[in-house]
Amino acid sequence: MFYETNVNNHGLEHDPFKALVAPRPIGWVSTLSKNKQVNLAPYSFFNAVSDLPPMIMISSNQRKDTLANVEETGEFVCSLATHRLRDAMNMSSAAVDKNVSEFDLSTLTRAASRLVAPPRVADSPAALECKLWKVLPLPSGPGDDGLSKYTLILGFVVGVYINDDYLSGGLFDASKAGLIARMGYMDYCHITSENIFSLNRPKVSEDGRNASLIPGAWDGKYR
C-alpha cells in the first residue's frame, strides 16, 4: 500500500505513522510551575539529539502544563520509564487539573535534583536534569487551520543521575533497568537481555577504499 500523508488516505482504522517510527523512548518529564506546583507527564516524542553538548528534545502536542512550566522556569527533568513502573507512568499521562500532582496521583516518590528545581522520579533508575535552550513551534499540519499543533522543546542535559545498582562493568545496564518504549497505538515494548545485541562498527582500511566487519560482540572500541 501507499498513502499520501496530507490526505491520510490509507484506509486503515488508525493512522500507522507512529507504529512505523518505533520504538520511541519515553521522556518522563517533571516540571515545576512558578507557583511550585509539580507536574509529571510521559512523552514518546522524545530523544537525544546530540552528545557534545548533551541535548534532548521533547515534542508537545497542544499547550500542556509541561510546556507552560518549561517556558516559565526554563528547567525540567526526564526520568526513565521502566517495566516495573509502567502503571505509574501510564497513570501520570491522565489529563487532570493543573493543580493535581501526577506524583501523588501515581503514588510515586519524589527525589530532589542537584542542579534544577523540578524533582525526579525516585524509583527510576536514571534521570536527566535539563535546562531549556529553545522552544520551537512546528509547522501546522492538514486541518490545523494554520495553527501549529506541536511544539518542540530543546534542552541541555546539565546533570545525570544513575542508580549505581544499574551499572555493570562501567556500563549502564538497560536490560536490568527494564526500560520500556512506546510503539504504535497503545502498544509498548520492554528491553530485556534476550533482545539486546551489540555490533562492532566497520573497520575502514588505511586507504579509505574498503571496510571489513569485526565478528562477535562489541569489543569496547568506538570507531
CATH of the domain at 31: 2.30.110.10
* pLDDT of res. 144: 62
Does residue 207 sit within a domain?
Answer: no
Reported as a pLDDT band with limits 50, 70 and 90, residue 216 is: confident
In a domain, 130, yes or no: yes
Q: What is the pLDDT of residue 143?
A: 62
More confident residue, 223 or 17: 17
In this structure, what C-alpha cell is assigned to residue 25? 523512548
147 pLDDT higher than 80: no
Q: Taking residues 70-83, report their average pLDDT.
A: 98
User: Which is it for the CA torsion 77, 81, 85, 90, positive or negative?
Assistant: positive
- Write out pLDDT tens, residues 42-73: 999 999 999 999 999 999 988 889 999 999 99
Asked, for residue 149, whether it belongs to a domain, the answer is yes
Domain membership flag for residue 13: no
pLDDT tens per residue across span 113-146: 999 999 999 999 999 999 999 999 999 776 666 5
Structural domain for 177, as ranges? 23-194
Give the chain's domain count: 1
Q: What pLDDT sits at residue 146?
A: 59
User: pLDDT category, 217, cuts 50, 70, 90?
Assistant: confident
Distances (CA, A) of 31 to 14, 116, 121, 149, 158: 32, 10, 11, 21, 15
The answer to whether position 30 is within a domain reads yes
Q: Is residue 201 part of a domain?
A: no
Does residue 115 contact residue 151 with C-beta atoms inside 8 Å? no
